[in-house]
Structure 1
Amino acid sequence: MEIRGFWWVLLLLLLDRQSSETANITALNPPCYEVSGIQGGSVLLPTALTSSEKVAKIEWKFQPQTGLALAIAEFIGGKLERPNPGDRFGWRLKMVDEATLRITELELGDGGDYMARVRLASAVVEEHSFTCRVYEPVPEPQILFRLVSRTAEMCNVTLRCLGSEKGGINISWKRGDQLSFLEGSSDWYQLSAGSTDLHVSWRHNSSDSTFTCLLSNPVDQKSASFHLASICQNGSARSNPAENPPVQVNGILGGSASFPLKLPATTPVARIEWSLRAGSGPEVLIPELKVGRLEWQDTRERFGQRLEMADGTTLRIRALEKEDSCTLEARVVFASGEVLRKTFRLSVFEPVPDPEIHPHLVSRSTEVCNVTLHCLGSEKGGIDVSWKRGNSSDQLGVPEEGLDTDLHVSWQSSSLDSTFTCLLSNPADQKSASLDLASICRSEDGGHLMYMWILGLVAFLILVAGLGIWQWKKRPRPRAFPYVKE
């Protein structure tokens, strides 16, 4: 009985040890987390540490969807070190804190698995893993309409939502300001397979005539709305700015501006009618596109040969003039009878001048150099001034209102990032100029040392020359013998 009891105790100890080890493994190896980001955006990979101990070292690895795993970063001593700075990530990796990695300017190829091996101060190692998915931005949806029938009481319309041709995008429809989702079918509407088409039987006494198409993926969503009353009550499809917000297009004086419609290639186009309105002036018809050709209306004298078609559906205005700022509207009539209206607002700006940076050295010590940088070039007005440091895309804050042309910097000589850039921009153009503070702060030291070295050299040469003259004066002269005449 004693032997049997001994084995029972031993078995319990082994089970307890095994469960304890399993618990430790679970704690030290948390589950894989999923993170999602949008192309051009950023994501955070936070290592949720199970201990409050100080982090000694973190090794980051990346396993792409195809290919071998890569060692991409190592965080040690409070600094992020890159084993291969020339890899696909370049400067896009940053540590937000000692346990969170940030990836900026996301690319589609950044999707994959990331592993973080964390070594704590007590030599305990934790492993964290992440699955990152990067999605493209959702395109701007467009709503086509086709008036099927109209009576005094009811209007039958088919709405088609465009923009999900690439796949991986969800389509949904909502009605009214409350945006209640429409699903399946009812006695007054019907959704097609894939929800691209919405067939509506709308009554004129209905107070809710706004229908919205939403395109979405896990990280982005865009919508477009259409007002049925503009068709059913008026019998036409005049553009309403509230329902068809204009697309802003900015151009530079002397440059060109394009107005792309981005129509589906699978839907035949019968014709495209273009019109423009400058300010509060009357609406003027411009070329109509039929069978791939431009047919001029009454604007040849104004635009001359400056209008052209960049492709089958994109209008372009060349050699822009200041007076070309206007609102343009395109009415696309498809072969099926469906109609799409798209509005553009064109603004023409003067080119931004080349900026100049004038530095002023305020004070300098062995550790800190105080400099004021003044950016010239924005005197004409209508130009935004901003400052950036190094290769980072983050802008520096403006010191004070009205003083955004000046940047006051206290630069430490131990800093590796000494380049400051002034950017001048308007909505259509941008130019920049950069200055390396090290060339000012360190050159001042170098010039001072050179000056002292030259003074020392001159003093040394004077001393040598003086010693030479003194030695020459002290040397014995030959005795003169009396002249004897024979």
Structure 2
Amino acid sequence: MMKHLPECFLVLSIFPSLLLTGGEYVPVILNGLINQSIPMSLSGGPSDPVHRVIWNFKTNPLVTYTNNQLIFINEKFKGRLEILDDGRVLKIGHLRLEDSGLYIGMITFTNSTNYVKVYNLTVYEPVPTPSIVAKERKNRPDWCNVTLRCSVPTNKSSSSYTWKYRHGGSDFQLYNNSGDTIQISLQPESWDMEVLCIIHNPADFKNVSLHKFCPDYSVKAKSTGGELDLTCWIKLYIYLPILTILSLSLPLLCLLNKRKPE
């Protein structure tokens, strides 16, 4: 509980009368995505009619709503705020990175009771679309060693990596690695493996998969057989005319030999 004391003191410094009111002072963690929207609800309090709603962002007034009207709004948020559900929900649109921080909302009901709720919002950029690059490949007919790297156009420090794998049509299973690179060693019976790289942050994720990244030596064997067949055809085209000439000249030699005078 001690780790929440700073947030509680901040709430009380903004709304001193809260010592006698109800609410949730431990911040609710929210993760938002840049240019998207996110709602913050003051649900959980009484269902009495709402008289006034006040929201603060960090230590600055954000918006005041009373009698179904906005009577104050922070200049930085103009055109991006909506008050919904009779003041019980604040919706922030077109999120920006600088919108990250502590939001404190207080409802005052018509019976003069108050209810408070605190949110801690972090806004993230979308993660980039990844690709899988195979490198440092060492292959043998009975073994495949390969290093796979999940590559992204830009390096986002807030992004994390998760790898999964599967064989055939089975479900993906978690691969025990959380970095952008994995090393795989496979025997031929596992060369149908498909790997999945997921790049993510708390608000967004994207993934890419790679299938059959080890060579199929059976295909190479067929290809080699084709080359041998082609060589045979070349030899046939060379020797066939010679054999034809010999076969035609043999009767002629026999005929000449018969006509030779004794």
TM bin (shorter chain): 0.7 to 0.9
**Whole-angstrom distance in 2 between the partners of 1:311 and 1:393:** 42
**Structure 1 pair 435/321, CA: closer, same or farther in 2 (3 Å)?**
same
Counting only pairs closer than 5 Å after superposition, residues 54-69 of structure 1 correspond to structure 2 as none
Q: Could you say which residue in structure 2 is the equivalent of 1:376?
A: 151
* 1:354 to partner: Cα distance: 0.4
* 1:431 to partner: Cα distance: 1.0
Residue by residue over 1:267-315, the C-alpha shift from the partner in whole angstroms, topping out at 9 and shown as x without a partner, is: 43332211112xxxxx222222334x3414141x322211113544221
* 1:356 to partner: Cα distance: 0.8
**Whole-angstrom distance in 2 between the partners of 1:244 and 1:266:** 19
- Pairs aligned (count): 235
* 1:394 to partner: Cα distance: 5.4
Task: Specify which of 213, 218, 226 is matched with residue 440 of structure 1.
Answer: 213
* 1:408 to partner: Cα distance: 0.7
Q: Could you say which residue in structure 2 is the equivalent of 1:309?
A: 83
**Structure 1 pair 310/396, CA: closer, same or farther in 2 (3 Å)?**
farther
**Whole-angstrom distance in 2 between the partners of 1:324 and 1:383:** 19
* Partner secondary structure for residue 72 of structure 2: coil
**Whole-angstrom distance in 1 between the partners of 2:16 and 2:31:** 34
CA contact (8 A) 2:42 2:116 kept: no
Q: Could you say which residue in structure 2 is the equivalent of 1:287?
A: 63
Code of the aligned partner of 1:409: I
Matched, 1:469 2:237: no
Q: Could you say which residue in structure 1 is the equivalent of 2:188?
A: 413
**Structure 1 pair 296/321, CA: closer, same or farther in 2 (3 Å)?**
farther
Matched, 1:344 2:119: yes
**Whole-angstrom distance in 1 between the partners of 2:160 and 2:114:** 40
| TM-score normalised to structure 1 length | 0.43
**Whole-angstrom distance in 1 between the partners of 2:135 and 2:216:** 12
**Structure 1 pair 465/372, CA: closer, same or farther in 2 (3 Å)?**
same
**Whole-angstrom distance in 2 between the partners of 1:273 and 1:450:** 76
RMSD: 3.3
Task: Specify which of 256, 260, 277 is matched with residue 41 of structure 2.
Answer: 260
Code of the aligned partner of 2:248: P
CA contact (8 A) 2:55 2:105 kept: yes
* 1:385 to partner: Cα distance: 1.6
- Unmatched segments (≥5 aa) in structure 1: 1-175, 178-225, 278-282, 480-486
Q: Could you say which residue in structure 1 is the equivalent of 2:57?
A: 276
* 1:397 to partner: Cα distance: 2.3
* Partner secondary structure for residue 414 of structure 1: helix
Code of the aligned partner of 1:342: K
Matched, 1:453 2:234: no
Matched, 1:397 2:176: yes
Higher relative contact order (CA 8 A, sep 6+): 2
**Structure 1 pair 310/354, CA: closer, same or farther in 2 (3 Å)?**
farther
Q: Could you say which residue in structure 1 is the equivalent of 2:206?
A: 431
**Whole-angstrom distance in 2 between the partners of 1:311 and 1:412:** 60
Code of the aligned partner of 1:460: C
* Partner secondary structure for residue 320 of structure 1: coil
Code of the aligned partner of 2:25: N
* 1:469 to partner: Cα distance: 1.9
* 1:364 to partner: Cα distance: 3.1
Code of the aligned partner of 1:356: S
Q: Could you say which residue in structure 1 is the equivalent of 2:18?
A: 237
Please identify runs of 4+ aligned residues in structure 1 that moved more than 6 A. none
Residue by residue over 1:400-433, the C-alpha shift from the partner in whole angstroms, topping out at 9 and shown as x without a partner, is: xxxx211011223324971211111112111111
Residue by residue over 1:233-263, the C-alpha shift from the partner in whole angstroms, topping out at 9 and shown as x without a partner, is: x971169xxx712112111221222212234
- Unmatched segments (≥5 aa) in structure 2: 3-7, 253-262
Q: Percent identity?
A: 25
**Whole-angstrom distance in 2 between the partners of 1:261 and 1:273:** 11
**Structure 1 pair 430/415, CA: closer, same or farther in 2 (3 Å)?**
same
CA contact (8 A) 1:250 1:427 kept: yes
Q: Could you say which residue in structure 2 is the equivalent of 1:166?
A: none
Counting only pairs closer than 5 Å after superposition, residues 44-193 of structure 1 correspond to structure 2 as none
**Whole-angstrom distance in 1 between the partners of 2:122 and 2:16:** 32
CA contact (8 A) 1:286 1:296 kept: no
**Whole-angstrom distance in 2 between the partners of 1:310 and 1:472:** 97
Q: Could you say which residue in structure 2 is the equivalent of 1:78?
A: none
* Partner secondary structure for residue 440 of structure 1: coil
Matched, 1:387 2:163: yes
* 1:344 to partner: Cα distance: 1.0
**Structure 1 pair 366/296, CA: closer, same or farther in 2 (3 Å)?**
farther
**Whole-angstrom distance in 1 between the partners of 2:96 and 2:151:** 26
Code of the aligned partner of 1:395: L
Q: Could you say which residue in structure 1 is the equivalent of 2:101?
A: 326
Code of the aligned partner of 1:288: T
Residue by residue over 1:175-195, the C-alpha shift from the partner in whole angstroms, topping out at 9 and shown as x without a partner, is: x99xxxxxxxxxxxxxxxxxx
* 1:341 to partner: Cα distance: 0.9
| TM-score normalised to structure 2 length | 0.75
**Whole-angstrom distance in 2 between the partners of 1:425 and 1:452:** 44
Q: Could you say which residue in structure 2 is the equivalent of 1:357?
A: 132
**Whole-angstrom distance in 2 between the partners of 1:334 and 1:454:** 85
